[in-house]
A and B are shown apart, each in its own frame.
Chain A
Amino acid sequence: MSQEQKLSYYINKAKSLDITKYEKKIRIALLGSFTLNGIEETLRVKCSEIQIGCNSYVAGYNQYHQEVLNKESNLYRFSSDIVFLVLDARSILGKLFHLPYSVSESDRRQFVKDKVSDISNLIRFFTSYSTAKLVLTNLAVPTYSPYGICETKVSYGLQEMVNDYNQQILESIKNTESIYLYNFDSFVTRIGEKNVFDFKQFFLGDIQISFDCIPYLVSDFVGYVKAVLGLSKKCIVLDLDNTLWGGIVGEDGFEGIKLGSDPVGKAFVEFQKILLALHKRGIILAINSKNNFDDAIHVIRKHSDMILKEEHFACMKINWNDKTQNMKEIANELNIGLDSMVFFDDDPVNREYIRTSFPQILTVEIPKDVSQYAPLLMSLNDFDTLKITKEDLGRGNMYLQEKQRKDLQQQATNLDDFLEQLEIKLKIKKANDFTIPRISQLTLKTNQFNLTTKRYQDEDIKKFLDGGHWVGCAQVEDKFGDSGITGVFIVKKNTTEWFIDTFLLSCRIMGRGIEDGILAQILKKAKESGVKTVVGEFIPTKKNTPSENFLSDYGFKKIGQYWIFDTSNPIKIPKYLDCSVEE
């Protein structure tokens, strides 16, 4: 856990923030059952530190019921992207917080049930009036009990009550996509109840999160901001010597490096295990190391304590080339932006070099003490996304397939020959409960092949469907495997003309004519429906140049700021694509 600044630093900084200068913006409302001063200021400053302009609204002290239940309240008028509802055990439990045993066990159970249904009702009300993400905190389980060591002998005692409340709240919101539970109880466990709850501050101003702890809490909150804005990192680029193992393999040799048995070696193993777990949830791993390839690959392939194997790395740059050059090549080969990369290197000089060359890469400040590598990695919330999809879980495997495709490409005599041999199947699917999370995710994170870069949450997608528009996605398979849903389009339908609101393709499958195949299906459908004109748009960003010429190359004609296709023109479909459309 990195050291945070004092609260006064944030409070003062917040006064002079100019949020108009940031391209990315977020609107956040804070509601709570106790004093939230300080949290709001810290949130705005922490957002500005990562180039996000944050507008905020803080509801009046303990006004959350009124604000949520009144459709005309300032909360709804503010139209937030995220609402944090921060509750505490004292106010939820009321009298029972101090005197839990003044009522019978069955009354305690009923009490918790009622509170859960009260909060669930609030949430239901909220979701029917707002499309904002709601982040609700659970309750910190009190460590004190009047029953002392006998607390655990009581049936449905104080601690069990709070645990049960937390469990029931968790169950009640688990399946609501726009609601997240922030585990405040585990925050308190991590920081310590003695540190979080300062009795003096509590008596002075109903301050229930001490000043020193507020910045830590807000750092966790910023994780939601990054996820909502789609700023999550996709790839970790790693050095080798003294980063994945102790020592320098070129000097210390295969036997001499520290990995596994001794305390230092155990720290590297732990670090690798955390990396492997991130890989399994969809984070890409890559290597950027100055080393003799043969020495390093020998360790990766043969060392018995090496947790990460060759198959876990989507790209390996082990050479004596310039590290920034390697970095660019990794980004190119993996088809991801530099700003979705995180860089780990023990050498401060390398870090500084990468940081100054590519400020958009998150270069992590590594502590000198190797025992702190794993906890540092665990503390990063830069990989947080609003959901984890099937595609995320299979990503590691997909990069392996990608390597096989590259091998095939090298053997093939020309590009058409290669594409033919891939036996690509393109399936156009409709948006439904199964595909909407992935569709939203792709709109949030696709930057390069994206004509309009419009970001949509699940609720926005549903609105398109309710409006009778066509939201579709493309699943791509070839002989090496299933790439999953990797393309998305949204077509706004009018009787005479269709408008392509969104058209994007995951960078992983660019360059295989998939985009032509998808567009052709849209145009064919338009023609069948008697629609003569399909209108497209290209909104340039810093990153979407790969899709700049797509519409004109396909045969759209520019009129004003739009691109027009007359459906009486021939509709081209790459002959090697096997296309199907779900009806």
Chain B
Amino acid sequence: MTKLFEIISRVLNAPITQINDESGPETMDGWDSFNLYVLLDEIETTYNVKFNLDETLEIKNVGDFKKILQKYGVVDF
């Protein structure tokens, strides 16, 4: 479960201990629309998947990233 959190922590410049599935724009300062796209890009590269445009727009928190990754068969985050 740590790999995804590590990416989020690095890209959004936030302590990994403060990240959980509910983390989102309200709880994380770095989570603005542009950084979300940067984060998305890095997650796609790391897991070698491409999110659809509509899936991208559904992402409201960290848990949503997991849901979509699971859809693409990623089990090890």
Contacts and interface: CB of A to CB of B under 8 A. Distances in A.
A545 B57 CA distance: 62
B38 A204 contact: no
11 contacts: A8-B11, A8-B38, A8-B42, A11-B35, A12-B11, A12-B13, A200-B50, A201-B37, A203-B53, A211-B37, A211-B41
B39 interface: yes
A6 B11 CA distance: 10
B53 A204 contact: yes
Contacts of B37: 201, 204-205, 207, 211
The 9 closest A-B pairs by CB, nearest first: A8-B11, A37-B34, A211-B41, A12-B13, A8-B38, A204-B37, A200-B53, A7-B38, A8-B42
Max count, chain A CB within 10 A of own CB: residue among B13, B41, B56: B41
B38 A200 contact: no
A6 B42 contact: yes
Interface of B: 10-11, 13, 33-35, 37-39, 41-42, 45, 50-51, 53, 56
Given A6-B42, A37-B34, A204-B37, 17 more contacts: A7-B38, A8-B42, A11-B11, A11-B35, A11-B38, A12-B13, A35-B34, A38-B38, A200-B53, A200-B56, A201-B37, A203-B53, A204-B53, A205-B37, A207-B37, A211-B37, A211-B38
A190 interface: no
A95 interface: no
Main secondary structure of the interface of B (DSSP, over half): helix
A212 interface: yes
Q: Which label, helix, strand, loop or mixed, suits the secondary structure of the A interface?
A: helix
A89 to B, nearest CB: 22
A205 B53 CA distance: 12
Interface residues of A, number: 18
A437 to B, nearest CB: 41
Given A11-B35, A37-B34, A201 B11 contact: no
A37 B32 CA distance: 12
Among the interface residues B13, B37, B56, which one has the most CB atoms of the partner chain A within 10 A?
B37
A204 B39 contact: no
A77 interface: no
Contacts of A37: 34
A278 B38 CA distance: 38
Given A38-B34, A200-B53, A205-B34, A7 B41 contact: yes
A15 interface: yes
Nearest to A12: B13
A5 B11 CA distance: 13
Nearest to B35: A11
A275 B35 CA distance: 42
Nearest to A201: B37
Nearest to A13: B13
A15 B12 CA distance: 11
Interface in A211-262: 211-212
B10 A201 contact: no
A263 B41 CA distance: 39
A12 B11 CA distance: 7
A205 B34 CA distance: 8
Contacts of B45: 6
Contacts of B53: 200, 203-204
Contacts of A12: 10-11, 13
Nearest to B34: A37
A210 B35 CA distance: 13
Nearest to B13: A12
B41 A201 contact: yes
A6 B43 CA distance: 12
Given A7-B41, A8-B38, A211-B41, A204 B13 contact: no
